[in-house]
Amino acid sequence: MTSRGRRVTSRGRRAAALLLAAGCVAAYAAACASPGSPPGGPVDHAAPVILKVTPDSGATGVRSKGVTVAFNEVVSERPRAGTDLGAVVLLSPSDGAARVDWHRDAITVRPRKGFRANTAYALTVLPGLSDLRSNAITSPRTFVFSTGASIPRGVVRGAVFDWTTVKPAGLALIDATVGGDTSFRWIAKTDSSGRYALPFLPSDKYTLRTIIDANQNGRLDPRELWDSVTVVVADSLRLDLYAFMHDTLGARIVGVDVKDSLTLRLVFDRALALDSALSPGQVELRRADSSRVRVRSLVRASAFDSVARAREVAVRDSTLRADTTVAGRRGRARADSGRVIAQQDSIENARVEARRAERDTVKRVPPPVPARMAITPEFVAELDEPIGPGAYRLTVRNALSASRVRRTSERTFSRAKPVEKPPESKADSTVKKPPGVSAPATKPPVKPPRQ
Q: Are residues 144 and 157 in the same domain?
A: no
Q: Are residues 226 and 269 in the same domain?
A: no
Q: Are residues 348 and 311 in the same domain?
A: yes
Residues of the chain with pLDDT under 70: 1-41, 308, 310-324, 326-333, 335-345, 353-364, 420-451
pLDDT value, residue 351: 72
Nearest residue to 152 (alpha-carbon basis) of 128, 121, 196: 121
Q: Are residues 236 and 272 in the same domain?
A: no
Count CB-CB contacts under 10 A for residue 275. 7
pLDDT value, residue 31: 46
CA 21 to each of CA 18, 24, 25, 35, 413: distance values in angstroms, whole numbers, following the listed order: 5, 5, 6, 21, 89
> For the segment 166-187, what is each residue's pLDDT rounded down to a tens digit?
999 998 999 999 988 888 999 9
Would residue 297 count as lying in a domain? yes
pLDDT value, residue 210: 96
Would residue 30 count as lying in a domain? no
3-class DSSP state of 152 = coil
Asked if residues 137 and 129 have their Cβ atoms less than 8 Å apart, the reply is: yes
pLDDT value, residue 11: 59
Dihedral angle of Cα 385, 391, 394, 395, to the nearest 10 degrees: -130
Q: Are residues 210 and 108 in the same domain?
A: no
Asked if residues 53 and 123 have their Cβ atoms less than 8 Å apart, the reply is: yes
User: How many angstroms separate the CA atoms of 418 and 420, rounded?
Assistant: 6
Kindly report the length of the chain: 451
pLDDT value, residue 439: 53
Would residue 403 count as lying in a domain? yes
pLDDT value, residue 358: 61
Which of 125, 151, 177 is at the close of a domain? 151
Which of 126, 151, 176 is at the close of a domain? 151
Asked if residues 243 and 176 have their Cβ atoms less than 8 Å apart, the reply is: no
Domains held by the chain: number: 3
| ∠ CA 130-133-135, rounded to 5° | 40
Q: Are residues 93 and 123 in the same domain?
A: yes
55: domain CATH number?
Answer: 2.60.40.3710
Which residues, including other chains, have CB under 8 Å from residue 46's CB and lie 6 or more apart? 135
Q: Are residues 61 and 210 in the same domain?
A: no
140-169 in b/e form (b: 16+ CB < 10 A) is bebbbbbbeeebbebebebbbbbbbeeebb
Asked if residues 304 and 380 have their Cβ atoms less than 8 Å apart, the reply is: yes
Residue 233: what residue type? V
Chain-centre distance for alpha carbon 144: 31
> For the segment 132-176, what is each residue's pLDDT rounded down to a tens digit?
999 999 999 999 999 999 999 999 999 999 999 999 999 899 999
Nearest residue to 155 (alpha-carbon basis) of 231, 88, 76: 231
Q: Are residues 317 and 376 in the same domain?
A: yes
Edge-first strand listing for the sheet containing 99-102? 50-54, 67-71, 106-110, 99-102
Mean pLDDT of all residues in the chain?
83
DSSP character string of 275-339: SS---GGGEEEEETTS-EE-EEEEEEHHHHHHHHHHHHHHHHHHHHHH--SHHHHHHHHHHHHHH
> For the segment 403-440, what is each residue's pLDDT rounded down to a tens digit?
999 999 999 999 988 776 666 665 555 555 555 555 55
Q: Which residues pair with 160 in a beta bridge?
A: 241
pLDDT value, residue 20: 53
Which of 211, 246, 281 is at the close of a domain? 246
Nearest residue to 151 (alpha-carbon basis) of 139, 159, 160, 142: 142
171: domain CATH number?
Answer: 2.60.40.180
Q: Are residues 257 and 240 in the same domain?
A: no
Would residue 17 count as lying in a domain? no
Domain span holding position 85: 46-151
78 DSSP 8-state letter: S
Strand stretches in 202-294, DSSP E: 204-211, 226-233, 236-238, 241-243, 253-260, 263-268, 283-287, 292-293
- pTM of the prediction? 0.69
Would residue 443 count as lying in a domain? no
Would residue 445 count as lying in a domain? no
